[in-house]
Amino acid sequence: MNTRIYLDHAATTRLHSKALEAMRPYLEDEFGNPSGMYDLGKEAAGAIERARSSVASGLGCRPQEVVFTGPGTESINAAIKGVAFAKQLAGLGNHIVTSSIEHHAVLHSCDYLAKFGFETTFVPVDAFGTVDPDEVAHAINERTVLVSVMLANNEVGTLEPLPEIAEVVQRRAKSLRRRISLHTDAVQGANALDLDVKRLGVDLLSLSAHKFGGPKGAGVLYMRRGTPFLEQLSGGGQERQRRAGTENVAGIVGTAAALTEAQANREQYSKLCGQLSRQLIEGILQSVPAARLSGHSEQRLPNNVHFSFEGTQSDAMLEALDDLGIAASAGSACTSATWEPSHVLTAMGMPLGRAAGVLRLTCGPENRAEEIDRVLSILPRVVSESRAKASSGLSAK
């Protein structure tokens, strides 16, 4: 078999060599507990604070505004639940605004809060998966305490107009004479997008290290100073009482190293992945009948290629590609058990026949043009065979 071609960088990325190098001492000799009052503990604590300063530099914020968490899901849960509960306890409201295409970590957090009296307005998106800032403004009311809109969609790659959304949130908050916090799930953005929190206009921002060359199970929550927050993990009071639990020193150090590399190489990453993505998009449109690009054609992550193929089934295509040494995904487009379409694609108005047959191909800096050529030489046959299989299945019924 030929060398495997990995095109699922939206799912996870290879650990960056500099992240591994930074982590190694804290996986071996420098194993101390950061709460310890001896040299090993002090070294671990110092490593965490150096990492905090490094991450703060990448986000354009104060080190004290950086909270190290477990995975991105925890960061998102902490942001949404922590702010919502704090404001509810203060009698400030019980209403949240988010979009209909958020990651399940956001949507399920809102579902969880409904058990405690919160209401959520889900703002619609257009056919490209774009959130209209005016729709966000319209959804805000006198009980709104939090707005959460992702920076870039994890399935179709569409970039959201976050600075414009921040502007309308601030304007509505001022007119209602209240403070409304703005959170963004920026998990997919660190490799290609500017994460400066002042430019974005956000109060909270969530990251997951393994999406940008860091270790799995490590994440970051930026929290603007003064943002009301009720901790979701109670215990020893680590992270300035915001996230209890013995710190994952190696994971934190690796996260900081990976984020530094990702932000320093954004332009190079975007150029390389953009070229590979355009090669994929143009090749698929030319060689696969009835293929349709999902998401915005221009305002999208440079490494994301998401196509729908009417009359196909995602699982059949993915299995065939895997057999041929190509790792891809369908996002969360459907499951073989239920054949339910992705909530993202449904929100975009994609018909079920298309939503059941999609592929997400996400490039990374280690991919090469010759790998894309190989994928393009294989994909037309894979789609054709999937269509034939799906058609024969329908005929048999």
Q: How confident is the model at residue 40 (pLDDT cuts 50, 70, 90)?
A: very high
- 361-390 confidence digits (pLDDT tens): 999 999 999 999 999 999 999 999 999 988
Which pLDDT score is estimated for 84? 98
Look at residues 264, 295, 322 and tell me which one is the last residue of a structural domain.
Answer: 264
Helices (H) and strands (E) in the chain, counts: 14, 12
The mean pLDDT value of the chain amounts to: 95
Per-residue pLDDT at 332: 54
The pLDDT of 106-125, averaged and rounded, is 98
Q: What is the pLDDT of residue 48?
A: 98
For 79-113, the pLDDT digits (tens) are 999 999 999 999 999 999 999 999 999 999 999 99
Q: Which residues pair with 343 in a beta bridge?
A: none
If DSSP codes are grouped into helix, strand and coil, which group holds residue 159?
strand
Residues 205/206/210/215 CA torsion (nearest 10 deg):
100
Calpha distance 306→13 (Å, rounded):
18
Percent of the chain with pLDDT over 90: 94
Angle at 212 between CA 210 and CA 218, to 5 degrees: 35
Q: What is the pTM of this model?
A: 0.96
* pLDDT at position 175: 98
Quick check: 76 and 151 in contact, CB under 8 A? no
CATH number at 323 reads 3.90.1150.10
In a domain, 389, yes or no: yes
Least confident span in 219-233, 253-267, 285-299, 326-340: 326-340
Residue 334 known to be catalytic: yes
Residue 2 within a domain: no
- Model confidence at 396, in pLDDT bands (50, 70, 90)? very low
**Whether residues 308 and 258 fall in one domain:** no
Residues 22 and 94 in one domain: yes
Measured between alpha carbons, how far is residue 394 from residues 288, 387, 391, 397 in Å? 22, 11, 5, 5
If asked whether residues 252 and 294 sit together in one domain, one would say no
Beta strands 291-293 and 304-309 are antiparallel
Asked if the model's pLDDT at residue 264 lies above 50, the reply is yes
- The answer to whether residue 333 scores a pLDDT higher than 90 is no
For the segment 292-316, the average pLDDT, to the nearest whole number, is 96
Report the phi/psi class of residue 117: left, alpha or beta, with left for phi > 0 and alpha for psi in -120 to 50: left
Using 50, 70 and 90 to split pLDDT, how confident is the model at 1?
very low
- Choose, from 110, 273, 334, 363, the residue flagged as catalytic: 334
Domains contained in the chain, number: 2
- Are 293 and 256 in the same domain? no
Bridging pattern class, strands 358-362 and 304-309: antiparallel
Q: Contact, 186 vs 207, CB < 8 A?
A: yes
Residues 159 and 200 in one domain: yes
pLDDT band at 221 (very low <50, low <70, confident <90, very high): very high
Token pair for residue 196? Answer: 């400066």
Query: Does residue 148 share a domain with residue 252?
Result: yes
Strand 219-223: give its sheet, edge to edge.
66-69, 219-223, 204-208, 181-185, 144-148, 95-99, 119-123
What pLDDT is stored for residue 339 in this prediction? 56
19's CB contacts (< 8 A; 6+ apart) are: 213, 214, 215, 254, 255, 257, 258, 261
pLDDT confidence tier of residue 392, bands split at 50, 70 and 90: confident
Let me know whether 205 and 312 are in one domain: no
- Mean pLDDT over residues 276-300, rounded? 97
Range of the domain at 108: 17-264
Q: Dig out the tokens for 128 from the structure.
A: 């490209």
Report, as an integer, the average pLDDT of 212-221. Answer: 98
Same domain, 97 and 228: yes
> How far is the C-alpha of 55 from the C-alpha of 323, rounded, in Å?
40
Which has the minimum average pLDDT: 126-140, 202-216, 273-287, 340-354?
340-354
